[in-house]
Amino acid sequence: MLDPKLVRNDINEVAAQLKKRGFVVDTTKFNTLEEQRKHLQVKLQEMQNERNVRSKEVGMAKAAGKNVDEVLAKLKDVSEAIKSLEAKFAQTQTELDDFLAGLPNIPHASVPFGKSEDDNEVVRVWGEPRQFSFKPKDHVELGANQGWIDFETAAALSGSRFVVLRGPMARLQRALIQFMLDLHINEHGYQEILVPYIVNADCLFGTGQLPKFKEDLFAVNGEGERYLISTSEIPVTNTVRDSIVNADQLPIKYACYSSCFRSEAGSYGKDIRGMLRQHQFEKVELVQIVQPAFSYEALEELTRHAETVLQRLELPYRVVALCTADIGFSAAKTYDLEVWLPGQNRYREISSCSNTESFQARRMKARWRDESGKIDLVHTLNGSGLAIGRTLIAVVENYQDELGRIHIPPALQPYMGGLEVIE
């Protein structure tokens, strides 16, 4: 959430900044609500002062032995008026809070301006796409014929956009998970964390999924408002919700493996072939909680950590700075990592690394205390390190041979019991 003081002090400047994202701020609505709030607040204070005066009059009248019926009647009228004003003020404040909760983050000054994803900027490219002496197959052709990647059984079990992995493909996925966790924990200094896959609405509001993206979530029937997580960023980041951490505890760096669940409500007909867009998928998520002064340094570091996975697997990729029109709701700046997929003959997103600055922290009331005792909001960052299913696709397609075998990258062979090729 944006700082309410910033919005109140210069709504027009905020609107101008958010316009870069293609987001139109209803300044008229905000100004109307804000004027109404101020008016009600002043009126409420006046009536509360009058109530105090009337209460004193009742006390003085009783002390003097006078009849207090008339004074009590006036006091009752004032009290009822206050109740009515309090209800109107609370309603106005709720509408203002909802308005503020619907505003996305302001893009950082370094974010390239753009009107669509076509305006994203390539920052760097690593590796060269492999030149095949045969027409490369996609992961569906390579895995489905062997029964390793089974969409039909998954559809019978759960419906479309699910998959069953068998044998060496299931083992390869498990190897990728362990490889990524070991890399981030042993070399990059992250602490492993395991979190629930079901969270309450407060968690989702804190990281920005609610209320705007409710349709992308799977709700859980039962007691309370709860949902399956769409990313482990949600519960991991919320571990500091409603808390104050000391300076010597920062940065907090977590690596978390989890399943993720997304309804893909806005992607009907998009990426319907294969494993690229599933209702259930796995990720190793990286989360950093840092002092504000170091958050952009942390963004570069976190992005490099995600890149290291691709480099160790020797998969060609590029780093893309998302433009103002393409960054996520909570993000101030985002880098996407896009891996080369021979089966599609194109780069596809495999990780998004974002700095949300204090946007999530303000919603979560996540703060830190510096050495002088001053309390301020932390900055939160997150990124996939990496998406497991898409990494599996990239390995399968980049390491295929003309016989349809899958060669195992050297970095993964120790996690596959020394296996060098999937026949």
3-state secondary structure of 94: helix
- Indicate which residue of 21, 161, 262, 362 is catalytic: 262
Cα dist. 290→109, 251, 379, 404 in Å? 20, 5, 5, 46
Rounded to the nearest angstrom, the gap between the alpha carbon of residue 388 and the centroid of all alpha carbons in its chain is: 18
Q: What is the DSSP string of 290-336?
A: E-GGGHHHHHHHHHHHHHHHHHHTT--EEEEE--TTTS-SS-SEEEE
Q: Report whether 282 belongs to an annotated binding site.
A: no
Q: For the purposes of burial, counting CB atoms within 10 Å of the CB of 392, is it exposed (0-12), middle (13-18) or buried (19 or more)?
A: buried
3-state secondary structure of 405: coil
Residue 17 Ramachandran class (φ > 0 left, ψ -120 to 50 alpha, else beta): alpha
| Per-residue DSSP letter, 407 | E
| Per-residue DSSP letter, 404 | S
Rounded to the nearest angstrom, the gap between the alpha carbon of residue 48 and the centroid of all alpha carbons in its chain is: 42
For residue 353 the two structure tokens come to: 């690394």
Distance, in Å, from the CA atom of 375 to the CA atom of 368, rounded to the nearest integer, reads 6
- Indicate which residue of 8, 226, 277, 318 is catalytic: 277
Q: Report whether 301 belongs to an annotated binding site.
A: no
Q: Report whether 314 belongs to an annotated binding site.
A: no
Q: Report whether 397 belongs to an annotated binding site.
A: no
Q: Report whether 264 belongs to an annotated binding site.
A: yes
- Answer yes or no: 277 catalytic: yes
3-state secondary structure of 400: strand
Q: Report whether 350 belongs to an annotated binding site.
A: yes
Distance, in Å, from the CA atom of 118 to the CA atom of 223, rounded to the nearest integer, reads 44
Q: Report whether 352 belongs to an annotated binding site.
A: yes
- Answer yes or no: 262 catalytic: yes
DSSP bridge pairs for 124: 319
Q: Report whether 349 belongs to an annotated binding site.
A: yes
Q: Report whether 384 belongs to an annotated binding site.
A: yes
Distance, in Å, from the CA atom of 366 to the CA atom of 414, rounded to the nearest integer, reads 40
Q: What is the DSSP string of 7-57?
A: HHH-HHHHHHHHHTTTPPP-HHHHHHHHHHHHHHHHHHHHHHHHHHHHHHH
- Answer yes or no: 21 catalytic: no
For the sheet containing 379-387, what is the strand order? 121-126, 317-321, 333-341, 346-355, 379-387, 280-290, 252-261, 191-192
Q: Report whether 262 belongs to an annotated binding site.
A: yes
- Indicate which residue of 258, 352, 354, 358 is catalytic: 352
Binding-site residues for L-serine sit at 231-233, 262, 285, 382, 384
Annotated binding site for ATP: 262-264, 349-352
Q: Which residues are catalytic?
A: 262, 277, 349, 352, 390
Would you list which residues are annotated within the binding site? 231-233, 262-264, 285, 349-352, 382, 384
